Structure 1
Amino acid sequence: MSDSQREAVRQKALAEIALLDTAPEREFDALAKLAQRMLGTRMSSITLIDPERQWFKARCGPLASETPRAGAFCPVVFETEAPLTVADARLDPRFASSPFVIGAPNICYYAGVPVRVMQTGGDAVVVGTLCVLDDKPREPCASDVEVLSELACMAEALLEARMAALHAAEAAEDRRLTVEHLERERRQFKQAERMAVMGSWRYDLGLRAATWSDGIFAIHELPVSGGVPNDEIMSFFPEPDRSAFLAAVMRTLNTGLPFELDADLMTAKGNRRRVRCLAEIEVTKGRPVALMGLLQDITEQYHMEQKLRQTARTDDLTQLSNRAEFNRVLDSRLREADARNTEFAVLLIDLDGFKDVNDALGHAAGDEVLRRVADQLRAEYLSSCVPARLGGDEFAVLVPPTVGRGAIEALVQRLLHSLRIVADGPGQIASVTGTIGVAWSGGEARSRTELLRNADTALYEAKRTCKGTACTYSGASDRRTAG
């Protein structure tokens, strides 16, 4: 694909999310502020790039609401689709003459990562960036990009939620509950996204004793009046985080390099918290005299990130994996199969007669059929498989290598039988069956695209032969076999 074609794809995806020139939204503002605070910069933004300009959906610091695209930093990330860090833009020939460097806001340091959205076909497309900026130079470190990448995942989940909400709002009454659910999740995200309590500490290497700020006592749920429990400090960290913390301390003492570590902490009252530990050596007259650092309670942020990842990977109606999660697992299985020289099967399932259920009995009945299909895909005999709803009435199942070619036929036939579902309503009955296309990895199918194309070919061959049956793609001879 040429550069112009890629640009067209990106601009199409940007238009589909309908976010340009919209009013500020608290969840995007909170995410930009979180990036600014976590990386300690003067500025941050969530930036969208259209053909002529970069527009800030959220921004912190002295940034205009939009600027020309030419000479800016974020379009480089947008065009290369890769992270970018610039330690001192004044010394970088790409940006030294940029109006944003020689004039306001006088950018020196920049770190940005792509923000993507998933298209209907399952491919991720860059529509903008999440970045932090400063008017002072700064030596980039790997953790800057790591933190931004994690936050970009949250931004992408917000965009996915927004797109889903837009589609739902345009749909009929049967989608109303889905829209309300998405809005509830958005409100929950707004409430949960905030910085946790922080405190500072110092450990005197000579005295082998620590001093804590009030914030550290609060995180440990200890009274300030009781003093620092120097002999018990490490007992607050359960294993394996205790060993990881001690190892990080030793590396810092041996190398002089600071460390940052996320760990579990059990408070004096027995409450488990997630904390972020930062430390560096304090040097006096060329000699290390202490370790000093910060402890940040990130429990709410940590749990929110876990929940957000789960939400972003799950189909709301069926609680099966969604298309994005299915693609992620499929890519992982392909890598494993290639490394171990094994093969596995993919089943693509299309429901026959589903439209008749919606037409005759209503969309509520159709939703119930989809949930019943999901229940069948969670049956015990499929416990080693990975089921997913790809969208509409299309489902998929990843069958592990432990189910070989000799056993797949029985599994498929059992599944076909279980997908014969009868839905009834006032005076009417409608039935649904499933048609299955089977494809095996390996051979010509070494990528997700090839494997799914083969399964799709087999699926439609089965439909042409007889709905409610299965067909296996045979890549070696380019034949299809129905069963």
Structure 2
Amino acid sequence: MYLLEKLLESQDEGLADLVEAGSVLFDCPMAVVSALDTDCQHFLVRRGIAAEQTPIGQSFCRIAVAQDSLLVVPDTHLDARFRENPLVTGDPNIRFYAGAPLRLRLHPDAPTTGIGAFCIIDSKPRTFTSADSARLISFARGVEAMLQSRLSSIALSEDAVLLKAMLADKERAQRQFRQAERLTSIGCWRLDLITGGVAWSEGIYDIHRVPVTETEKLDDALAYYPPADRERLEAALDAASRTGACFELELDFIAANGAHKRVRTIGEPELEQGRVVALIGVLQDVTERHRSMAELSKRANTDEVTLIASRHKFVSYVDSCVDKAKISREPLALMLIDLDHFKQVNDTLGHAAGDDVLRAVAMVLRSPWLKDSLAARLGGDEFALVLTDPGLIANLPDIAAQLTEQLRFPRRSKTGDFIVSATIGCSELDGPADSRHDLLQRADRALYRAKAQGRGSFSIDTPQAA
């Protein structure tokens, strides 16, 4: 209960970003990280839900925790366990729920314990594939990593307070401090600005994978960082030495055994009579958390069938391109691409054959002649191509015509031969007032006109056409 209160008090922007990414990836309006106690279900982070907590008896997440596995409810109105639940009959009107339990190690020697769940929620029923389940469980592991890191930071902070109160028993204090370092993969350091000597705790030596010595030199300590990150750390140390400014950095790091790591370091001045005489701080090995976040980012930004950009990546990329184009006045164009007769592939040849077609489309959209254009799968048989190369945009009709020729895939089925083709709607950024919404709306309008002309054709939206 005490640790839960500390988690509720803490604010983690990274966790909020992860929950938002999960909501966007699964196209669910609501997403929650819950934590359970005896009476209540608390929401550590929530998106699309106003309530901060609910009675434990109304909690879907408690069932996911109790069964210690993913809980998927495609339609709550068809599930006797939930159809009369106040969260179903009233606000937020839950019709779909999918939640993966979160397990944390609350103490160094304790087994993992289910504390809540990461879940996505919709007010309408929906299907949830095995691939969706795998992605949700992967997101939950990332949430676990972030919560465990937060608990470790809380434990380290409170261990520091305890250590000050137990200085009378130095040996016991040192043992407990060492336990805290092992638990959190953290060590303490002190840089003497007069001698240039660096003192490390045992935890720092563990991170560096070197034997314990009495002192280190600053240049030797900096040698473990790649050049770019070493420069960032040197600049932070210099500023702290001159101005007394605190710093917090996350850096790449290469241990003595060659292992590549990610570390987080925090530093602040040590003052004597108002003068900075030393810098003190902590160093934490955050490699696993960094890898988890990188993997989650990759999953969120990559379509798993075609391995091109996902809708989530497409949205963020177009927004950044629009912002850049407004400043640089560089051209920007968008193509929305719908496949014709794709449903016939799935219906007559099976979904594996359909996936082959999707991958073939992606291969064309990643052709070298399209240069640095971003190809994305928006969902189903819908694709997008974002063009930033001025030469390609200047010849947009020719590019669209060439794509309609290359995006033709003959197929043979028992019901007869047919061709999967592509219909394309194109638009260009039209001035500094344009937004992603404007660009998409015009491309969609052009796509509608192209479909009216006939399958396998294209149309380009222009101010005159609008």
User: How would you bin the TM-score normalised by the shorter chain?
Assistant: 0.5 to 0.7
Verify the 8 A CA contact 1:274 1:302 in the aligned structure 2: yes
Task: Within 5 Å, give how 1:336-347 maps onto structure 2.
Answer: 336-347=324-335
Moved more, 234-243 or 440-449: 440-449
2:52 matched to 1:54? yes
Given candidates 443, 457, 463, the residue that maps to 1:469 is 457
1:338 deviates by 2.0
Verify the 8 A CA contact 2:397 2:460 in the aligned structure 1: no
1:441 matched to which residue of 2?
429
Whole-angstrom CA distance in 2 between matches of 1:308 and 1:57 = 31
1:93 matched to which residue of 2?
none
Whole-angstrom CA distance in 2 between matches of 1:50 and 1:413 = 46
Q: Deviations over 1:152-179 (max 9, x none)?
A: xxxxxx767x77xx8442xxxxx44x23
Q: Deviations over 1:170-191 (max 9, x none)?
A: xxxxx44x23532552465367
Verify the 8 A CA contact 1:459 1:471 in the aligned structure 2: yes
1:278 deviates by 1.0
* Aligned AA (2:465): D
- Judged with a 3 Å threshold, the aligned counterparts in structure 2 of structure 1 residues 392 and 226 are, in CA distance, closer, same or farther, namely same
Whole-angstrom CA distance in 2 between matches of 1:325 and 1:159 = 21
1:47 deviates by 4.1
- Judged with a 3 Å threshold, the aligned counterparts in structure 2 of structure 1 residues 57 and 309 are, in CA distance, closer, same or farther, namely farther
- Judged with a 3 Å threshold, the aligned counterparts in structure 2 of structure 1 residues 186 and 21 are, in CA distance, closer, same or farther, namely closer
Matched length: 343
Q: Deviations over 1:254-287 (max 9, x none)?
A: 2112111222222122222211111111123333
Whole-angstrom CA distance in 1 between matches of 2:49 and 2:429 = 39
2:276 matched to 1:320? no
Question: Helix, strand or coil: the match of 2:334?
Answer: strand
1:313 deviates by 1.4
- Judged with a 3 Å threshold, the aligned counterparts in structure 2 of structure 1 residues 189 and 56 are, in CA distance, closer, same or farther, namely farther
Q: Deviations over 1:11-42 (max 9, x none)?
A: x99995566797869xxx9xx9xxxxxxxxxx
1:181 matched to which residue of 2?
134
1:445 deviates by 7.2
Whole-angstrom CA distance in 2 between matches of 1:298 and 1:411 = 46
Verify the 8 A CA contact 1:338 1:442 in the aligned structure 2: no
Q: Which runs of 4+ in 1 moved over 6 A?
A: 12-15, 20-23
Verify the 8 A CA contact 1:219 1:297 in the aligned structure 2: yes
Verify the 8 A CA contact 2:197 2:215 in the aligned structure 1: no
Verify the 8 A CA contact 2:33 2:119 in the aligned structure 1: no
Whole-angstrom CA distance in 2 between matches of 1:265 and 1:48 = 35
* Aligned AA (1:478): A
Verify the 8 A CA contact 2:249 2:266 in the aligned structure 1: yes
Question: Helix, strand or coil: the match of 2:52?
Answer: strand
Whole-angstrom CA distance in 2 between matches of 1:407 and 1:201 = 59
Task: Within 5 Å, give how 1:22-421 maps onto structure 2.
Answer: 45-47=44-46, 50=49, 53-55=51-53, 167-169=126-128, 175-176=129-130, 178-183=131-136, 185-186=138-139, 188-189=141-142, 193=146, 194-195=148-149, 197-225=185-213, 228=216, 232-421=220-409
- Judged with a 3 Å threshold, the aligned counterparts in structure 2 of structure 1 residues 57 and 45 are, in CA distance, closer, same or farther, namely farther
Verify the 8 A CA contact 1:436 1:470 in the aligned structure 2: yes
* Aligned AA (1:297): D
1:452 deviates by 1.0
Whole-angstrom CA distance in 2 between matches of 1:230 and 1:245 = 11
Q: Deviations over 1:186-244 (max 9, x none)?
A: 46536755435100011222333221110000011001157535551221222122222
Question: Helix, strand or coil: the match of 1:315?
Answer: coil
Q: Deviations over 1:404-425 (max 9, x none)?
A: 5542222212211111112345
1:50 deviates by 4.4
Q: Deviations over 1:60-105 (max 9, x none)?
A: xxxxx9xxxxxxxxxxxxxxxxxxxxxxxxxxxxxxxxxxxxxxxx
- Judged with a 3 Å threshold, the aligned counterparts in structure 2 of structure 1 residues 259 and 334 are, in CA distance, closer, same or farther, namely same
* Aligned AA (2:445): T
Whole-angstrom CA distance in 2 between matches of 1:222 and 1:382 = 50
2:429 matched to 1:431? no
Question: Helix, strand or coil: the match of 2:391?
Answer: coil
Whole-angstrom CA distance in 2 between matches of 1:360 and 1:448 = 37
1:396 deviates by 0.7
- Judged with a 3 Å threshold, the aligned counterparts in structure 2 of structure 1 residues 395 and 446 are, in CA distance, closer, same or farther, namely same
1:459 deviates by 0.8
Verify the 8 A CA contact 1:314 1:320 in the aligned structure 2: yes
Verify the 8 A CA contact 1:48 1:55 in the aligned structure 2: no
* Aligned AA (1:46): V
Whole-angstrom CA distance in 1 between matches of 2:55 and 2:401 = 51
1:48 deviates by 5.7
1:455 deviates by 0.8
Q: Deviations over 1:415-468 (max 9, x none)?
A: 111111123456754421100111111149711111111111111111111110
> What is the RMSD computed on CA atoms of the aligned residues?
3.5
Moved more, 220-229 or 232-241: 220-229
Whole-angstrom CA distance in 1 between matches of 2:331 and 2:449 = 22
1:137 matched to which residue of 2?
none
- Judged with a 3 Å threshold, the aligned counterparts in structure 2 of structure 1 residues 355 and 231 are, in CA distance, closer, same or farther, namely closer
1:340 deviates by 2.2
- Judged with a 3 Å threshold, the aligned counterparts in structure 2 of structure 1 residues 227 and 433 are, in CA distance, closer, same or farther, namely same
TM-score, normalised by the number of residues in structure 1: 0.63
Question: Helix, strand or coil: the match of 1:403?
Answer: helix
2:431 matched to 1:478? no
Moved more, 184-193 or 199-208: 184-193
Whole-angstrom CA distance in 1 between matches of 2:406 and 2:55 = 48
- Judged with a 3 Å threshold, the aligned counterparts in structure 2 of structure 1 residues 299 and 16 are, in CA distance, closer, same or farther, namely closer
2:176 matched to which residue of 1?
none
Whole-angstrom CA distance in 1 between matches of 2:458 and 2:275 = 74
Question: Helix, strand or coil: the match of 2:390?
Answer: coil
Verify the 8 A CA contact 1:45 1:57 in the aligned structure 2: no
Q: Structure 2 unaligned runs (5+)? A: 1-22, 60-117, 150-183
Whole-angstrom CA distance in 2 between matches of 1:462 and 1:443 = 24
